[in-house]
Amino acid sequence: MAFASKEYYGIEDLLEIVRLLRAPGGCPWDREQTHQSIRANFIEETYEAIEAIDTGNLPLLQEELGDVLLQILLHAQMEAETGAFSFADVVDGIAKKLIVRHPHVFADTVVQDSSEVLENWDKIKQQTKDHKTHTQVLRSVSPALPALMRTAKIQKKARKLPEAARLPESPENALQTVRQQLDRLTQSVVDGEVVGEQAGDFLFAVVDAVRLLGLEPEYTLTLACERFLTAFERQEQDMQRPLSNNLHA
């Protein structure tokens, strides 16, 4: 299979590499893959890119962005083989979406700040997605998102809608709701009831309170996990010290 090596490769070269990997006589593993079989790979590569962002590791970020791009190209190539769409169609689609959703850049709409940009974005998205009800807007948040991330996004969208009156308006009100949900959960445990629903409502209220405190719930919990691991490691190290050291501590 002819392919000329280069000192520096461009996107067209990468497209050709992926095509050759999937072509007859290419890589057996790549040829066997489907959208579903590499679904988890897409998620894993995305999170590894997030890890590089969180740690500020730029060389790793460069590598992981390449891995994410490979996933995109593989999915696009699978459909190019069926004639459904190609990578060029993917590029065309996102280019058109960006132009439509940025009329303050590519048309004559005037905005004062980023909040107006986001407001226009939501309005344009609702129109282009043909959402006719507010429930459709909320259900458009992908159920494939991690539950914590999806909850925060639904709450954020819901607060922009007229029906948001049923949601707490301030961090103080949100924390009061958390206490109420915790009381209900505690009472359910005392009564020996199935607590799944109450536990879910409690978690939902906690996410809302964290958001109203100006924090990003997913990242806040990530930091909490890291603090737990650090404390756990410290405790483990302490337990492994010789007994004489503990006596003199």
Residue 74 belongs to domain spanning: 1-106
The torsion angle over the Cα atoms of residues 112, 114, 116 and 122, rounded to 10 degrees, is 160
Domain count, the chain: 2
State the Cα–Cα distance between residues 222 and 53, nearest whole angstrom: 13
Task: Say whether both 147 and 229 belong to one domain.
Answer: yes
Residues 168 and 226 in one domain: yes
Q: How far is CA 1 from CA 10, 15, 73, 111, 207, in A?
A: 19, 15, 20, 53, 54
The answer to whether residue 43 is domain-embedded is: yes
Distance from C-alpha of 236 to C-alpha of 223, rounded to nearest angstrom: 20
Whether 132 is in a domain gets the answer no
pLDDT at 143 exceeding the cut of 70 = yes
Last residue within a domain, chosen from 106, 131, 164? 106
Q: 100 and 143 share a domain?
A: no
Mean pLDDT of the chain: 91
2 belongs to a structural domain: yes
Residue 93 belongs to some domain of the structure: yes
Among residues 57, 84, 106, which one ends one of the domains?
106
Look at residues 106, 124, 157 and tell me which one is the last residue of a structural domain: 106
Amino acid letter, residue 124 = I
Q: Count how many Cα atoms sit within 13 Å of the Cα of residue 14 in the half-sphere of its side chain.
A: 15
Taking alpha carbons only, the member of 194, 219, 217, 221 closest to residue 207 is 217
Q: Same domain, yes or no, for 163 and 98?
A: no
Residue 243 has pLDDT above 60, yes or no: no
My answer on whether 99 and 157 are in the same domain is no
pLDDT tens, 194-232?
889 999 999 999 999 999 999 999 999 999 999 999 999
Q: In this structure, is residue 48 part of a structural domain?
A: yes
Query: Do residues 147 and 219 both lie within one domain?
Result: yes
Q: What is the average pLDDT across 115-127?
A: 86
**Same domain, yes or no: 49 and 90:** yes
92/148 same-domain check: no
Q: How far is residue 96's CA from residue 86's CA, in Å, rounded to a whole number?
A: 15
Whether 102 is in a domain gets the answer yes
If one compares 248 and 73, the residue with the highest pLDDT of the two is 73
CA–CA distance from 71 to each of 12, 45, 92, 232 (Å)? Answer: 16, 8, 18, 36
Q: Do residues 154 and 205 share a domain?
A: yes
Q: How confident is the model at residue 1 (pLDDT cuts 50, 70, 90)?
A: low
CATH number at residue 68: 1.10.287.1080
Evaluate whether residue 118 is within a structural domain. no
Tell me whether residue 133 is in a domain.
no
